[in-house]
Structures are given as C-alpha cells and as structure tokens.
Chains A and B, each alone.
Chain A
Amino acid sequence: MLLSSVIIVLREVLEAALLFSVLIALSKQMGVNFRWLVWSMLLGLLGAFIYGMNIQLVSEWFEGVGQEVSNALIQLVIYFMLVLYMLMLSYYSYRQKTSKFLLSLIMTVIVALAMTREGAEIILYFFSVTHSDAHYLAVLVGMTIGASIGISIGLLFYYLLNSLKPERSIFIGLILLLLVSAGMISQASLLLIQADWLPAQLPLWNSSELLSEKSVTGQLLYALLGYESTPTAIQAGLYLLSLILPLTLIAGLKFTCTKNHSSL
C-alpha cells in the first residue's frame, strides 16, 4: 500500500512540479514576484476538489467519455497558454520588457488547471484507498514521500535554472517549455483517441524494448516531453505540429523585433 501510494502521487506531482519549477524560475528572471503562485495554487486546490467530487457527473458527459474530453481540453488550454508564455519570454529576451500582469495571469491559468487535473486524481485515490480505513497511515506516509520526491526534483530544476546566466536560463527554459507543451498535446491526442474522438490507428513503432514507459527514465521522459513507446501516426503528427507552431511564432517575433530595431 505504501509503495503504490508513493508511486501514484509521485507520478502526478512530478509532472506538475517540473512545469511549475520552470515557470517560477523564468518568472523570477523576468522580475515577476511570487504572489501569483499563491493564488493559482489555491485556485488549483479548489479546482481539484470540485473536479474530484464531481468525477461521476463528468464521466457521464459525451456518452461516457467526459473524463477524456475534459482532460484533453485542460491539456489543450495549458498548451496554448504555454505558447503565449513562450512568446512573451522570447519578446522579453529581445526587448528586456514584458507585461508582468499578463505573465502572472497566464501562469495562474496553467498552474491552476494542471493542479486541477493532477490533484483530482490524487484526491480520488486517497478517498478510495482509505475507504476501508485499515491503511490510513501507510497511505498518508506514502503520499507524503511521493509528493516530497516530486517537489524535490522540481526544486532541483528550479535551482539549476536559477544558477545559470539569465540569457542561458531563458534559452534552456524555453526549450523545456517547448518540450513540456508538446507533451501536453501528445497526452491530449491520446485521450481523444481513447474516447474515439480521434481515429484509432496501429502504432507507428514500438520502442518499449528500447525504453519502457514503466522505467524510471521512461516516466521522467513522459513527465517532461510526453514520451510514448507506441505512438500512432496522428499522435506523432500532432506532436510535431505542436513543436512547429511555437517555433514558427517565435521566429516570426524575432524577425519583427530585429526589423523594427534596425529601422529605429
């Protein structure tokens, strides 16, 4: 009981912790204070409770695939917020200015939505395993250990990013966000395939022998960039598109910024 509760909480927390640590480190670079974090975490907790408590209702939406559709929608919104964030980050790196309010707002939406999704699962897990009491303490200890490991890895990422020179940490942060955001699309497309909203296909390849999704590295890569060992063509295609979109926008932004600059 203890070990399985460590694993389930770690898996949920790790994904969120990696994303949050990058956002927090980058916003610090851009001079945004941490007030947004408090609000977004409170909102996220509230969202997780509301989602968790209404999971039965949500499940029944869209003829029984409401969970998949809602989660995919959450991932999609997070993706587009991340694209906006990446654009603002690039703009900051060219012009050294930004709208702190808009940045805080974007990050609040991302953190609150991510916590809603991951948190709801943790809450459901907790109520399910403690239903027949017996393992109350073991589960609580396990969950705390799992959460602590996840948060520690997040903190490690935060300090690593913070210890770099500003330009370098923005560049590396941008790459990390790009990967995380594409991972969101990978997960969203998977959910929509599971719901039969996107066509099901035979997997394109099977790299599970090479790198299993069950392994520690596989799990880390799943959390970081949405690694799948057996993706379908649609999933892989959307993944690529989700990488190309922000890159194109950033390139366009760079072009306009440098052009305006030279005409001044």
Chain B
Amino acid sequence: MNDSMIKKMLYVFLIFLFSFQAIVYAGTPVINIEIRNHLFIPSEIVIPKNTKVKLIIHNHDETDEEFESFELNREKVIVGQCKGIIFIGPLPEGEYPFFGEFFPKTAQGKVIVK
C-alpha cells in the first residue's frame, strides 16, 4: 500500500465522517423558547413523535429560572440573560407539561408530541 492510496483512504474516511456528522446535526430539530417576564414564549411547542429535539431556551429576564418537567424528566437552571440547551425525546405521542420551578405561577408551558 503506497502513500497516495493511504491518503485517498483517509479522504474517504474523512468525507464519511463529516457526512455522518452532517446527518446527525440535520436530524436533530432545534426549537427556540424565550423566557420573558417569567413566561415561556411560545408556551406550547409541537414536536414530531419518536424524534430527539434540541431545545434552546433564551432567558431574557434578569433572574435565573429552572426549566423543570416531571413528564419530560428534565431539570436545568437557565441563568438570567443567558441561554441553555436541553435535549428532549424521542417521545411517544402526548402532552408533556413543563414549568419554571423558580416562578411556577406564570412560567408554564407544554410540549405537544404528534
């Protein structure tokens, strides 16, 4: 096996690796949620069933909030004026409420899986 062959194989391998990466990233839908005045905006999001989804939560309030959901099994502090990433799913069809543990009176929302 000569050098050029090894190089070719390396290229093929790299292309394979990157295409795989592209598939992985393309396959994970991203949904943005904002927190303003202790409210989730939008408060209802719809995601496809049996699919992993990346939630990006942008907290525009000065105060921290804790994203929490018993149904989704998720819990994460979203620092004030920062964003946080949470992966959810794959999930069967249904409704999955979530809330802000620090301000639960107003910070309420749900994920609808269809």
Chain A residues in the interface with B (C-beta under 8 A):
1, 4, 8, 55-56, 59, 63-65, 67-68, 121, 124-125, 127-129, 131-132, 190, 193-196, 200-203, 208, 212-214, 228-230
Contacts and interface: CB of A to CB of B under 8 A. Distances in A.
A128 B92 contact: no
Interface stretch (B10-18, B39-47, B81-89): B81-89
Given A59-B79, A125-B66, A213-B70, A64 B84 contact: yes
B50 A202 contact: yes
B77 A228 contact: no
Contacts of B80: 128
B61 to A, nearest CB: 9
B85 A65 contact: yes
The 5 A-B pairs at the shortest CB distance, nearest first, are namely: A128-B63, A64-B85, A213-B70, A196-B87, A128-B64
A208 B102 contact: no
A125 B101 CA distance: 9
Interface string B74-109: 111101101111110111100000000111110000
State the majority secondary structure of interface residues on B. loop
B73 interface: yes
B65 A128 contact: yes
A7 to B, nearest CB: 8
A208 B79 contact: no
A161 to B, nearest CB: 29
Contacts of B110: none
B77 A55 contact: yes
B52 interface: yes
A4 B90 CA distance: 30
Contacts, number: 80
Contacts of A212: 70
Given A55-B79, A56-B79, A128-B65, A4 B84 contact: no
B92 to A, nearest CB: 7
B66 A193 contact: no
Nearest to B83: A64
30 contacts: A1-B105, A4-B105, A8-B102, A55-B64, A55-B77, A55-B79, A56-B79, A56-B82, A59-B82, A59-B84, A68-B76, A121-B66, A121-B77, A124-B77, A125-B66, A128-B63, A128-B65, A128-B80, A128-B102, A129-B63, A129-B103, A132-B63, A193-B87, A194-B73, A194-B75, A194-B76, A196-B52, A196-B54, A201-B90, A230-B71
Contacts of A230: 71, 73
A17 B2 CA distance: 66
A56 B74 CA distance: 19
A221 B71 CA distance: 16
Nearest to A68: B76
Nearest to A206: B92
Contact of A195 (B52, B87, B103): B87
B54 to A, nearest CB: 8
Contacts of B87: 193-196, 200
A125 B62 CA distance: 13
A10 B25 CA distance: 39
B106 to A, nearest CB: 11
Nearest to B65: A128
Given A59-B77, A124-B77, A202-B91, A194 B102 contact: no
A149 to B, nearest CB: 17
